[in-house]
Amino acid sequence: MKRYLITSALPYASGVTHLGNVVGSTLPADIYARFCRLRGRQTLYVCGSDEHGVAITIAAEKEGISPRELIDRYHGLNAKALDSIGIAFDIYDRTSNPIHAETAREFFSVWGKKGLLVEREEDQFYDDEAQILDRKS
């Protein structure tokens, strides 16, 4: 039997997820997962909190708490909010869970062996200071 792994954009654990996140990402994936299940397909719908990024550090600083405290709070609030509107994840986890890194490594290893990845160098324009200031406003 063909297996289906479905995911959606992971909400940042820097605040409560909003309607735009749900409508633009989570809900379409949930609908597709339900469709697959109704068709008798072996389906796994996974998502979770994205616990990395400058936005988390800045939000924690604004609240005067550690990034871990902020992440723990919003992971729980977002999981509860999504459950309350009937989003049916099979797994709602966190990017800090070691299984996340292990699974990502496994995917990239398989893709690499199949020649699906291309390694190259590019010049990119990026300014650490401007990025942080932009997110503070």
Q: What is the structure's pLDDT at 69?
A: 97
CATH number of 3-98: 3.40.50.620
Please say whether the beta carbons of 8 and 26 come within 8 A. yes
Edge-to-edge strand ranges of the sheet holding 3-7: 3-7, 42-49, 91-94
Q: What is the structure's pLDDT at 117?
A: 96
Both structure tokens of 103 = 């699974």
Cα distance between residue 119 and residue 107, in whole Å: 16
Place of tokens 């954009």: 9
> 30: left (phi > 0), else alpha (psi -120 to 50), else beta?
alpha
Place of tokens 């909010």: 81
Q: What is the structure's pLDDT at 132?
A: 47
Q: What is the structure's pLDDT at 29?
A: 98
Mean pLDDT per 10-residue interval, the chain, length 137 residues: 94 91 95 97 97 88 95 96 96 94 94 95 68 46
Spell out where the chain has E strands. Answer: 3-7, 42-49, 91-94
CB atoms within 10 A of CB 135: 14
Where along the chain do its domains lie?
A: 3-98
Q: What is the structure's pLDDT at 53?
A: 84
Q: What is the structure's pLDDT at 125?
A: 65
Q: What is the structure's pLDDT at 60?
A: 93
